[in-house]
Amino acid sequence: MVFSSLTFLCVFLPVVFLLALAIRNIRWQNVMLMVASLLFYAYGEPAYVVLMIVISVMSYVFGRAIGATEVPSRRKLYAGIAILVALACLGIFKYGEWFTGMLGQLIGESMAIAGIALPVGISFYTFQAISYIIDVYRRDVPPQRNLLHVVLYISFFPQLIAGPIIRYHDVDQQLAHRTITWEGVSVGLKRFIVGLAKKVLIADVLAVAVDAIFGAELGDVTAPAAWLAAFAYLLQIYFDFSAYSDMAIGIARMFGFTYLENFNYPFTSTSIQEFWRKWHISLSTWFREYLYIPLGGNRKGRPRTVFNKFMIFFCCGLWHGAAWTFVVWGLIHGFFLLLEEYLPIRKLPKPVGWVYAMLVVMLAFVLFRADTFEQGLHFLSQMFVGWGPLTSEAQVLLMGQLTPLFLFTLVLGAIGSFPWLPKLKERLATLSVPAQRRADALASVACLGLLVLCLVTLAGGAYSPFIYFRF
């Protein structure tokens, strides 16, 4: 079940929300939300819901064990076992086939494990389980005595499938103490509708052209088509992923939870360092807190710092998928991030810095989107050398994507990726109270219109899962 499906919008979410309103006791509300979250996951992954429950119970048990002893070696042992179990589950299901396939190639024998389906959202909920274990080990939070709270933290349906990655210490108190308010419901619902519109009206429209070009014969992909696909995908992945984050944050707010932001207009960045402060913030924060700092951060000399940062971005790329395209994508970002530390790139004029950062991000995303490493390299080479005369097939491929709807959406996406709306809100805040009320009423009407438009579009459209579902 996806947020942009009519089943979720018209049945699941309204029913669960009404039940939450009816159940005032926080304990029983948590029980209901846990059951609803497990049903939400089981709707698409009936077998693997057991895996998520096992990881949740394992985290709870080892969290209690860590809290029950003051012996440092035992605390470290329990934490290590729990983290290794979570990573083993992630490794087997996500990387088992890839690793054994590469090992088979090295020894000249067929060893690939075939037929292992990737559980949806496993990269996200295993990282949340690890967050709980480490937070307890560091004594940032006490070990949770209520198994229900741990299961709900890991399985809560808004962030379950595609994040954001919620650190346990950020929601520990909210699991036991929160209130559903009409202000929270209003803010959350508007946020959800905006996210839904970003997905349905922008990302899904751009996806048609991107999929067509990346799915074409390599010989038909020339420079214009490659650049068009690269730019369209840059906007598609932003509006697709930020849409899910908006919807997750909005739904959580409706139920009384407050999640931290996951995106902050990353396409305004003038460096790769700034980009990663604004893109998938929950993931970069997780790696910084739970891997980079434990490795020593920048406290153990330049060589160790370089190694630590490359390790972070290697893991970041690998986290996204079992393919060299993702690994190289991560290493590209790591390389330029280090380059900015030792060269005066960040001192460039802002327009030049912006062009540099966006070019690196867009070109790297070509590899991220490519089905194979060879396809990605072909697209990148064509972007710079494929400017010759177009064949009839190349013309059909290119012109077939340049529909009025696509071009309008492309321009709308480019404009919408910049912070015009927050600036408008700041200006509205300076108006008189009656003017602000009129603006709020207009915003509510606009959100209602967007919701209707999205529902009409979904009723007549095809299924389009979120990009980050496969991670």
Give tens-digit pLDDT for 205-251: 999 999 999 999 999 999 999 999 999 999 999 999 999 999 999 99
Contact 334, 310 (CB under 8 A): yes
d(C-alpha 317, C-alpha 155), whole Å: 24
Give the tens place of pLDDT for each residue, 349-380. 999 999 999 999 999 999 999 999 999 999 99
Q: What is the pLDDT of residue 51?
A: 94
Report the chain's terminal Cα–Cα distance, integer Å: 16
Contact 199, 243 (CB under 8 A): yes
Catalytic residue positions, numbered:
320
d(C-alpha 312, C-alpha 306), whole Å: 10
From the list 417, 249, 267, 276, the residue with the least C-alpha distance to 333 is 276
Q: Which amino acid is at 262?
A: N
Query: What is each CA distance from 153 to 60, 121, 125, 171, 176, in whole angstroms?
Result: 11, 14, 9, 8, 11
Confidence of residue 144 (pLDDT cuts 50, 70, 90): very high
d(C-alpha 167, C-alpha 284), whole Å: 12
DSSP assignment of 200-234 equals IIIIHHHHHHHHHHHTS-GGG--HHHHHHHHHHHH
Tokens representing residue 347 in the block: 């001192």
Give the tens place of pLDDT for each residue, 253-292. 999 999 999 999 999 999 999 999 999 999 999 999 999 9
pTM of model > 0.85: yes
Tokens representing residue 437 in the block: 């009320």
d(C-alpha 66, C-alpha 75), whole Å: 5
| Mean residue pLDDT across the chain | 91
d(C-alpha 467, C-alpha 469), whole Å: 6
Q: What is the pLDDT of residue 114?
A: 60
Confidence of residue 107 (pLDDT cuts 50, 70, 90): confident
pLDDT at 181 over 90: yes
pLDDT at 439 over 90: no
Q: How many CB atoms lie within 10 A of CB 113?
A: 13
Mean pLDDT of 376-391: 92
Confidence of residue 470 (pLDDT cuts 50, 70, 90): low
d(C-alpha 158, C-alpha 174), whole Å: 15
Tell me the HSE value of 261 on the side-chain side, using a 13 A CA sphere.
8
Tell me which of 73-87, 404-418, 432-446 is least confident: 432-446
Tell me the HSE value of 80 on the side-chain side, using a 13 A CA sphere.
6
Query: What is each CA distance from 145 to 61, 86, 127, 142, 202, in whole angstroms?
Result: 10, 20, 21, 9, 44
d(C-alpha 204, C-alpha 185), whole Å: 27
